[in-house]
């Protein structure tokens, strides 16, 4: 069949559908340029561009996660991100499946298109899901109320307690403030998961979230 004959098979009506549909597809592509704040991805999905190119939104990583930390992203987190996996550290945290699968993340294994991709001998410390940030208005520790939950639970020793000088007894733990050591934090989310702020109710005035939260960092390229 020649090209002319082929196109003559398209009636005017279906030509409108064809042209319109193809145009809409190209138009939808430009949604990529809508600015969106980066969101935390499961381990292996840290290169955002290649992640978004390969993710099928099949939900398998979310379903298999033994910690239930993977959740589907909402429209509010970016049009392109809807239905893609993101991390909700209020539900759980990422132990890289240490408990469930001897340290090999199940989500990365189940991903059919390798949108989540880790090097075989990866080290959890090097897979940066995000970085924890302390909210100094809400953090009980920072407000010198004696809380150091995050410091106690962090598996990577990425939180240090700063002893305030001139504020009484050197051994008094009430005079310590938590700091995140950025180089050591990989955003596993255990601190956010265990932070007592907003766990049952607001502990500090105005708090609407945990006092330590993990935020995604953008990494471009390999």
Partner 1 sequence: MKKLKANNLRAIVILGVVLVIAVGYFNLVGIGNLSDFGWGLISTICPLGFVETLLASKLLIPRAVISFFAVVAIVIVLGRVFCAWVCPVPLLQRWFPGSRKQQEKRIAEALPDAEALPAATEALPDAEALPAVDLLDEPSGDLPVQAALMPAETKLKLKSAAKPKLKGAAKPNNFKLDSRHVVLGGALLSTAIFGFPVFCLVCPVGLTFASVLFLMRLFAFGETTWTILVFPLVLVLELVFFRKWCKTICPLGALMSLISGLNKTFRPSIDNSRCIKTAQGVNCSACSAVCAENIDIRNPKTSQSSLNNCTKCRNCSDICPAHAISFPFLKGKQKTED
Q: Could you list the residues that contact partner 1 (CB under 8 A)?
A: 1, 5-7, 9-10, 14-19, 21-26, 28-32, 49-50, 52-61, 63-66, 71-72, 74-76, 79-80, 82-83, 106, 110, 112-115
Q: How far is the CB of 36 from partner 1 (least distance, A)?
A: 12
Between 22 and 199, name the residue whose CB sits nearer to partner 1. Answer: 22
Closest CA relative to residue 180, chosen from 202, 221, 212: 212
Q: How far is the CB of 30 from partner 1 (least distance, A)?
A: 7
Q: How far is the CB of 192 from partner 1 (least distance, A)?
A: 17
Between 34 and 206, name the residue whose CB sits nearer to partner 1. Answer: 34
Q: How far is the CB of 27 from partner 1 (least distance, A)?
A: 8
Q: What is the DSSP string of 40-103?
A: ---TT--BHHHHHHH-----HHHHH-TT--EEEPPGGG-GGGTTSEEE-TTT----TTHHHHTT
Between 22 and 164, name the residue whose CB sits nearer to partner 1. Answer: 22
Q: How far is the CB of 112 from partner 1 (least distance, A)?
A: 4
What long-range pairs does 197-206 form, CB within 8 A, spacing at least 24?
197/138, 197/139, 197/140, 203/138, 203/140, 204/137, 204/138, 204/139, 204/140, 204/143, 206/137, 206/138
Between 53 and 146, name the residue whose CB sits nearer to partner 1. Answer: 53
Structure token pair of residue 189: 């989310």
Between 74 and 123, name the residue whose CB sits nearer to partner 1. Answer: 74
Backbone angles phi, psi at 126, to 5 degrees: -95, -10
DSSP state, residue 116: S
Residue 137: CB atoms within 10 Å: 12
Q: How far is the CB of 176 from partner 1 (least distance, A)?
A: 35
Between 106 and 212, name the residue whose CB sits nearer to partner 1. Answer: 106
């Amino acid at each position: 069949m020649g090209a002319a004959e082929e196109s003559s098979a398209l009636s005017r009506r279906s030509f409108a559908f064809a042209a319109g549909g193809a145009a809409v597809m190209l138009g939808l592509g430009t949604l990529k340029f809508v600015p969106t704040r980066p969101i935390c991805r499961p381990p292996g999905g840290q290169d955002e561009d290649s992640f978004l190119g390969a993710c099928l939104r099949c939900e398998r990583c979310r379903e298999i996660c033994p910690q239930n930390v993977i959740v589907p992203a909402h429209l509010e987190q970016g049009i392109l991100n809807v239905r893609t996996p993101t991390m909700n550290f209020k539900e759980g945290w990422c132990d890289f499946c240490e408990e469930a699968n001897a340290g090999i993340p199940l989500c990365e294994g189940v991903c059919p298109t390798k949108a989540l991709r880790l090097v075989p001998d990866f080290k959890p410390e090097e897979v940066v899901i995000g970085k924890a940030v302390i909210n100094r208005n809400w953090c009980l520790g920072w407000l010198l109320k004696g809380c150091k939950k995050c410091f106690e639970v962090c598996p990577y020793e990425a939180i240090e307690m700063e002893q305030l000088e001139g504020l009484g007894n050197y051994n008094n733990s009430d005079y310590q403030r938590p700091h995140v050591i950025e180089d050591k934090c990989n955003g596993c989310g255990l601190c956010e998961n265990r932070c007592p702020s907003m766990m049952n109710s607001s502990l500090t005035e105005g708090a609407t979230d945990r006092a330590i939260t993990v935020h995604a960092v953008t990494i471009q390229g390999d």
